[in-house]
Amino acid sequence: MQPYLISWFRYDPRVEIAKLAIPCTLVQGTNDVQISVADARSLAAAQPRAKLVLIDGMTHVLKDAPLEAAAEQVRTVYANPSLPLDAVLVETVAAAANGRK
């Protein structure tokens, strides 16, 4: 698995997203402990046609959890597949898929 992951390090997501000529929706949770809101904003800045949606309380695994307890996120949100996806995420993805804003 490590060689596969290392192979992706040569790509700069900002450079790659700037190449897109199709609609792009970036979805970022404010309680993501792996990717920051600043990272999402950086991607959005690289692709001016992109729509950035920040979802309050959503984690890296697309579910809601408090930010203050990063270790608790791993024990609960990451390990519990029965927790629902964030409702705003579902609405956002459905709207993007149907060409709505």
pLDDT, tens only, 78-96:
888 898 999 999 999 999 8
Prediction pTM value: 0.85
Q: Is 27 helix (H, G, I), strand (E, B) or coil?
A: strand
> Residue 71 sits in which domain range?
2-97
Across 9-26, average pLDDT: 95
Q: Report percent pLDDT > 90 for the chain.
A: 72
pLDDT, tens only, 47-73:
999 999 999 999 999 999 887 777 777
User: What is the number of domains present in the chain?
Assistant: 1
**Tokens encoding 90:** 């579902």
**Residue 11's CATH number:** 3.40.50.1820
- Burial state string for 2-20 with b = 16 or more CB within 10 A and e = fewer than 16: eeeeeeeeeeeeeeebeee
